[in-house]
Amino acid sequence: MLLLCGGCMTGPLLDNPVRVQPVAEATCNNPAYIPLGPSAYGMVFEHVLDVVDDYFEISYANRYDGRIETFPMTAPGLEQPWKPGSPDFPQRLLATFQSIRHRAVVTIKAAEDGGYFVDVKVFKELEDLSRPTQALAGAAIFRSAPTVERQYEVIDAAVTTSNWIPIGRDVKLEQVLLKCLEKVDPKVLGQ
């Protein structure tokens, strides 16, 4: 009777040979090392530009500086499964209910032994709104705001108001980009 009450509540024995351990996710080094010769810099830069272009829209790319910057891109939520940007389910779920955007900065530096270090940084930002844009609660009550809103603002590209709060780096998206960068094939790059 005592064994029936215990049932499934007992855990696996410590010496159980079938015990399953969680697998640690393999991570890539950041900056990633690409072991190609000094003559392959142009091809490495084009390869990095091609990988970053799959995820972001490029705003600045300078081959001589070794720097690639991107425009901020809104993170896709669960309603856009075909769009790259949010690497796992929890981030896609968060992007469904919050306005989140990413922007990337990639630098390429020559290593002393002839290879290249590619440093990838993806910054994550959260939108800060004064009120919800699609708020439906309280729509049936009288509003205290005037019915006609006149805005006397001059729209200028040099004057921007930032409603985005930086919330750190997106390491998971960096790892996705680094895994794509490490798939460099010397035959494709002409080596």
Structural domains in the chain, CATH included, are 28-131+163-184 (3.30.530.50)
CA-to-CA dists, residue 187 to 41, 47, 182, 190, 191, angstroms: 15, 12, 14, 5, 6
Report DSSP state, residue 65: T
What pLDDT score does 29 carry? 76
Sign of torsion, CA 160 163 165 166? negative
Q: Decide: helix, strand or coil at residue 120.
A: strand
What pLDDT score does 121 carry? 93
For residue 187, what are its two tokens?
């035959």
What pLDDT score does 32 carry? 84
Report DSSP state, residue 187: T
What pLDDT score does 113 carry? 79
What pTM was estimated for this model as a whole? 0.67
What pLDDT score does 81 carry? 82
Spans in the chain with pLDDT lower than 70: 1-26, 131-161, 184-191
